[in-house]
Structure 1
Amino acid sequence: MATYLVGDLQGCYDELRSLLDRVKFDPASDHLYLVGDLVARGDKSLDCLRLVKSLGAAAQTVLGNHDLHLIATALGIKKVKACDRVEGIFAAADFEALIDWLRRQPLLVYNRQRNFVMTHAGISPDWDLSCALACAAEVENVLRGDDYHELLRAMYQNYPERWNENLSGFERLRYIINVFTRMRFCYRDHRLDFACKAPPEQAPPELLPWFKLENPLYKQLNIVFGHWASLVDTPTPENIYALDTGCVWNNRLTMLRWEDKRYFVQPALKDYRWA
């Protein structure tokens, strides 16, 4: 029995299948965790959704920003981005079932037995574990309810920039979504920045990667995340696992076997010229 964690798929189905075959993944005994963004710019987003859904209890994903955007486009709230290749999802006979399944996925997974938390982008520098779990549950409860459409309409903003426990309504929920699905850099006073997507060494000096800020949680727990493809080959603290290695940017898909911390990589199997 093994636990595997894999970086952003973004429609890179063939690379995922290659890794699963290489490790002889057995859904009867193994477990697969995915850091979100199952869909978007690769050419097999539909296959990625169907595969993860079909694995049932053997797989667990969290929601990424591209996953949430797909749900919003399914509702007609936003249009499909020109660089996204998700047309097949909208034409699929199981389209509604896939979207309904996707919106019921969590923002944060805490595996107490394996001692890790997993989210798409990270955890706010102002949160401890109990606060992060509670905040994730707030959004998850809305997304799984009947009135989730309004939240998706309200999530497309960059504010508030800083956590305040007195935040309420859509501003509170939006901050939570932005942290879990969009965060990369923060200012030293913990305000979020959404403009910079560069590697840390190329960032303005006033910005730091979220995991370099002072938060005891960052040293107490193993944190697994994706979202930040330009972090590829950038060292992180030993308990911080950045798994997005930019397969859809013609780099590679990365899988981590948790028990022995062994990495398995699959270079992109095609030229993803999605732009």
Structure 2
Amino acid sequence: MAIYLLGDIQGCHTELCQLMKLVNFDLNTDQIWFTGDLVARGPDSLATLRLIKSLGNSAKVVLGNHDLHLLAVHAGIKKVKRNDLVDELLNSSDIDELMDWLAQYPLVEQLPNENAYMSHAGLPPEWQPEDALAQSNFVQERISGSERNHWLNSMYGNTPNSWCNAQTEEEKFRYSVNALTRMRFCFSDGSLEFTSKGSPIDNQDTNLSPWFKLSKSIGTTQWVFGHWASLNGEVDNPNIYALDTGCVWGGRLTMLRWHDKKIFSVPAQL
């Protein structure tokens, strides 16, 4: 069995199909682990979700910020973002079924029998991997439960940006969502910064560092993530795998075969 880990699709269904064909993906023996942001800015979010859902147990998914926002839009809590191409998805006959299916997924997955994990944005410096798993379970239980709308409504906002300041359940929920789906740079104390999206090379703010430069766990823990397209898959830490290579922005869709760490990619179809 091969485990493939795949960067942000964002509705780029054609490239997803091309990449699965490139690696000769076998539904009966292989798995694809998706780093989140399955939907939004690309041309076919509906076909993307239907395809991933059809993979059944051969698909593992962690939710990204765009996936969570879609759930909130479907619930009537938020409006579609200006650049999101999800009208066909929202008007589809199986939208309710697709949203219930999407809402079951966590924010963190651990690879089988390894000290290796996957989340959309990474591991916040204030946490150990076990903290990330615990808070992922906390979020998953609430988003997949009967009070989903209450929790989706409470996830918006940038505070608290430090775990030690999260006191109520809603604050812990919001911090967990932000840390695991929106984080890129952090301040020196490990607190989250939400506005900077460029590459670390271009960063001029000496108060900010990439989250993986501040994490004390990354020396002994492997982490797979997406979200940060401006990294273009390039990090200088052998335990970090950045898989968002900006397909929806004209880059490429990238997949990592876990057992031998071989990279596969296809260019965006502009």
For this structure pair, what is the TM-score category when the shorter chain's length is used for normalisation?
over 0.9
Q: Partner of 1:177 in structure 2? A: 177
Change (3 A) 1:99 1:182: same
Which AA in structure 2 matches 1:137?
N
Which AA in structure 2 matches 1:249?
W
Partner SS, residue 253 of structure 2 = strand
TM alignment of 1:28-177, pairs within 5 A: 28-164=28-164, 167-177=167-177
Contact 1:236–1:242, Cα closer than 8 Å, also in 2 = no
Question: Alpha-carbon deviations, 1:223-246, whole Å to 9, x = none?
Answer: 000000001153330010000000
Q: Note the C-alpha offset of 1:87.
A: 0.8
Q: Note the C-alpha offset of 1:183.
A: 0.3
Which AA in structure 2 matches 1:205?
T
Contact 1:135–1:176, Cα closer than 8 Å, also in 2 = yes
Q: Partner of 1:273 in structure 2? A: none
TM-score norm. by structure 2 comes to 0.97
1:264 aligns with 2:248: no
Q: Note the C-alpha offset of 1:112.
A: 3.5
Q: Note the C-alpha offset of 1:82.
A: 1.3
Change (3 A) 1:233 1:137: closer
Q: Note the C-alpha offset of 1:168.
A: 2.0
Q: Note the C-alpha offset of 1:166.
A: 6.1
Q: Partner of 1:223 in structure 2? A: 223
1:254 aligns with 2:254: yes
Cα distance in 1 between the residues matched to 2:28 and 2:114: 18
Cα distance in 2 between the residues matched to 1:166 and 1:44: 37
Q: Note the C-alpha offset of 1:214.
A: 4.1
TM-score norm. by structure 1 comes to 0.95
Cα distance in 2 between the residues matched to 1:95 and 1:148: 16
Cα distance in 2 between the residues matched to 1:229 and 1:166: 29
Cα distance in 2 between the residues matched to 1:65 and 1:186: 17
Provide the alpha-carbon RMSD of the alignment.
1.2
Q: Partner of 1:9 in structure 2? A: 9
Q: Note the C-alpha offset of 1:133.
A: 1.0
Which AA in structure 2 matches 1:63?
L
Cα distance in 2 between the residues matched to 1:154 and 1:134: 19
Cα distance in 2 between the residues matched to 1:100 and 1:85: 20
TM alignment of 1:209-220, pairs within 5 A: 209-215=210-216, 217-220=217-220
Q: Partner of 1:236 in structure 2? A: 236
Cα distance in 1 between the residues matched to 2:234 and 2:55: 32
Unaligned 5+ residue runs, structure 1? 271-275
Q: Note the C-alpha offset of 1:123.
A: 1.2
Q: Note the C-alpha offset of 1:99.
A: 0.5
Cα distance in 1 between the residues matched to 2:91 and 2:114: 39
Q: Note the C-alpha offset of 1:81.
A: 0.8
Contact 1:2–1:259, Cα closer than 8 Å, also in 2 = yes
Misfit runs of 4+, over 4 Å: none
Which AA in structure 2 matches 1:207?
L
Partner SS, residue 219 of structure 1 = coil
Number of aligned positions between the proteins: 269
Contact 1:108–1:133, Cα closer than 8 Å, also in 2 = yes
Cα distance in 1 between the residues matched to 2:93 and 2:2: 33
Question: Alpha-carbon deviations, 1:36-92, whole Å to 9, x = none?
Answer: 000000001011101111100001110000000000000110000110000111121
Change (3 A) 1:257 1:70: same
Partner SS, residue 109 of structure 1 = strand
